[in-house]
Every structure is written in C-alpha cells, then in structure tokens.
C-alpha cells in the first residue's frame, strides 16, 4: 500500500493529487502490510499539490503503534525503512506485521481495536521531528489456520467420472484428500512414491486365485 506523509504539515494525505487528509486506516489482524511510504511537501501546483521529497543525510524513519499513549510497549512497530527509487518514485519501503503476540493479546475477542500509529523522523542527534499520528483500526480475521473444513464441502463418499469417462467412487477425508477408490467394482491402492493408484486384480495361478496389481494411474 502507498502512504503519503506530509512531513511539514504532520498529516497523512490520500495521494499526490489530493488536499484531503487520512485519519484512519482499517486493517485485519495477522496481516503483513507491505508499505511504500512517500515523504511529501506542499507545492504550488493546482493538480498536484504535493511533491515527493527525501530524508536528509543521517535521518531515519521510526514507526510504532500502541493502544494508549501510556502503554509501555508497542503492539507492533517497524524501525527499518529502506530507501528506493528516485525523483517522484522516491519512497521508503517496509513491512508492518499485524501478527505480533502483543497485538493478538490486546485484540482478544473485541470486534475492533483502535490503536495509535505514529511515524517520526530521527535526526543525527537522535531527536524526533515531524511526528505524525493516525488511527489504525484493527479488525479480527477469521482464518487463523486452526479451522477444520466443513464436512459438507467434501462428501465422504463422492461419485465422479474420470478423464477416461469411467464412473468411479472415492472416499475422501475432511481436507478433500482421496483415501479410497473403486472403479468397475475393483478397489485401488495408492502408492505414495509414484503418486499413482493401482487396481487390485485377481489372477489365477495354478488354479488358485492370487491378488495382483494392475497398471497405475491418476484418479
């Protein structure tokens, strides 16, 4: 995402072409935000009121977010912003992780969490300049990686027609992985090294029925 920081006005603006301001962003918990941060200053051009600028030598960008000003620790932060591009493409790139243990704990079961997000520039004397704040509203995500798959999504017994037009039946688990297969009344066995299914056939050897495997194939 692109963020345009009017450093002298200490506000976030929507774009190089807008005089408006941004007071809040909405994001989802556990996301990683790839950010292009543009530093801008005002210019007397009607259709582009902002000009891209760059840090002075020795200056650095710092970013952090807290639920309250009085909090001791950040919920998430980023102190490494890499300069890239030149001229109008000059920007500072970084990733902001919303997957920190501190943020997840603060979020709890809330329907949303507003945090104070702050950028500042540190000069060569480690003094802060142009400090700017905006609200990050964190919304709960629903995919956490611990969910199961709805049983109705993958019926346990599934009938289908293979690529050769042969009707078949397979048993699948909750993840949709085939666990058993029958075609033409014959069961198939999966061999993981070849990743193929082999039909179990019966051959008569010396008048005795003997189990054997047919040619492997995909299902």
pLDDT digits (tens, 9 = 90+) for 46-100: 899 999 999 999 999 999 999 999 999 999 999 999 999 999 999 999 999 999 9
pTM for this structure?
0.70
pLDDT at residue 33 in the model = 98
Residues spanned by CATH 2.60.40 within the chain? 2-139
User: What's the pLDDT at 172?
Assistant: 83
Q: Are 94 and 37 in contact (CB under 8 A)?
A: yes
Write down the pLDDT at residue 134. Answer: 98
Class of domain 2-139: mainly beta
pLDDT recorded at residue 148: 66
pLDDT at 21: 97
pLDDT range class, residue 153, cuts 50, 70, 90: low
Q: Which whole number is the average pLDDT over 5-16?
A: 97
Q: Which residue has the tokens 């450093």?
A: 7
Average pLDDT, the chain: 92
> Which of 13-27, 87-101, 104-118, 153-167 has the least mean pLDDT?
153-167
Both tokens of 2, joined, read: 């692109």
What is the model's pLDDT at position 157? 81
- Which pLDDT score, from 0 to 100, does residue 26 have? 98
pLDDT in tens, 165-218: 888 898 887 777 888 899 988 999 999 899 899 999 888 888 898 998 888 888
Q: Which residue has the higher pLDDT, 154 or 116?
A: 116
The larger pLDDT score, comparing residue 5 to residue 206, is at 5
Instruction: Return the minimum-mean-pLDDT range out of 13-27, 115-129, 163-177.
Output: 163-177
pLDDT of residue 149: 63
Place of tokens 């976030």: 12
For 158-190, the DSSP string reads EEEE-TTS-EEEEEE-TTS-EEEEEETTEEEEE
**Nearest 10 degrees: Cα torsion 70, 72, 75, 76:** 110
Q: Which of 156, 66, 166 is nearest to 118 (CA)?
A: 66
């Amino acid at each position: 995402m692109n963020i345009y920081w009017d450093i002298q006005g200490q506000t976030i603006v929507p774009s190089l072409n807008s005089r408006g301001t941004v007071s809040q962003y909405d994001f989802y918990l556990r996301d990683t935000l790839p950010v292009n941060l543009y530093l801008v200053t005002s210019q007397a051009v009607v259709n582009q009121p902002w000009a891209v600028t760059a840090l002075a030598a020795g200056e650095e960008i710092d970013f952090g977010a807290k639920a309250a000003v009085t909090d001791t620790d950040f919920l998430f932060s980023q102190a490494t912003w890499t300069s890239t591009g030149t001229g109008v493409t000059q920007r500072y790139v970084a990733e902001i992780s919303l997957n920190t243990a501190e943020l997840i704990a603060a979020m709890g079961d809330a329907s949303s969490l507003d945090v104070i997000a702050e950028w500042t520039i540190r000069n060569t004397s480690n003094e802060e300049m142009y400090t700017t704040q905006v609200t990050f509203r964190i919304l709960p995500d629903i995919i956490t990686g611990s969910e199961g798959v709805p049983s109705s999504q993958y019926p346990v017994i599934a009938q289908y027609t293979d690529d050769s037009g042969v009707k078949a039946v397979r048993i699948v688990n909750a993840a949709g992985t085939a666990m058993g297969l029958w075609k033409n009344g014959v069961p198939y066995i999966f061999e993981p090294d070849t990743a193929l299914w082999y039909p179990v056939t019966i051959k008569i050897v010396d008048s005795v029925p003997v189990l054997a495997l047919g040619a492997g194939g995909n299902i």
